[in-house]
Amino acid sequence: MDFHTILLFIHITCFAAWFGTVLASLFLLKTLESRLTGTALRAGEDALLLREFIKRETKVADVAFIGVVMSGILLASFFYGWTIWVVVKSGLIVLQVALTMGYIIRAIQPLSYPCPPEMFRNWYRLFAISLGMFALVLCVTFFLL
């Protein structure tokens, strides 16, 4: 196995892990939705569970994101070069992080539980942003690079 294959494997695996953390969060929130928008007693317990899950999920996502960035930089530097499409893909990943973090700060952090279902939908908008950007990055990667 050569260095290029190892880097590509790390890059794809980290990207999949990052994507997987987003899906895991989506599935947990969908499962807890009725309880986080319900009575205060159950919502408090489930909000604590959600916060603990997000804290741990963020650690995995951070490691995966760093792996994507580092392996991507190495792949571009040693094998692909800094072409316009590599720069576009990099820009899309930066845009994804900026949009996601901005929306988390603006719409997710202010939530307290129990919350009305209309406010809880902010979570689904967050996942639409994140998954939409993942889809865009994959489309650029597979169809334009």
Residue 145 pLDDT: 64
Q: Which residue spans within 9-140 are E strands per DSSP? A: none
105-114 per-position pLDDT tens digit: 999 999 999 9
Residue 142 pLDDT: 83
User: Structure pTM?
Assistant: 0.90
85-132 per-position pLDDT tens digit: 889 999 999 999 999 999 999 999 999 999 999 999 999 999 999 999
CA-to-CA dists, residue 15 to 31, 44, 117, 120, 136, angstroms: 25, 33, 31, 27, 13
